[in-house]
Amino acid sequence: GDLEARVLRAVWALARPATAREVHELVVVEHVVSQLTTITVLNRLVAKRVLQRSKSGDRIHFAARLSE
């Protein structure tokens, strides 16, 4: 959907593994959405194998599996 595309573009724009908060800060500029909704979309994209999730310390980072 549209929100999934916005989240994916934000991950690509960061060009590195990023936390949900970092992704949300970019998404919320264009589309008013809660941080929890952003996290849900990030996890949905992981389930669809578009993003990968990794843990570094106590934080979870998301990165694109595919280039733009």
Task: Name, in order, each residue with C-beta under 8 angstroms of 57's C-beta and a sequence gap of 6 or more.
Answer: none
Q: What is the pLDDT of residues 4-60, one digit of tens each?
A: 999 999 999 999 999 999 999 999 998 899 999 999 999 999 999 999 999 988 999
Of 49 and 66, more confident: 49
pLDDT of 22: 97
Q: Can you give the pTM of this predicted structure?
A: 0.93
Residues in the chain: 68
pLDDT of 31: 84
Q: Token digits for 51?
A: 């993003």
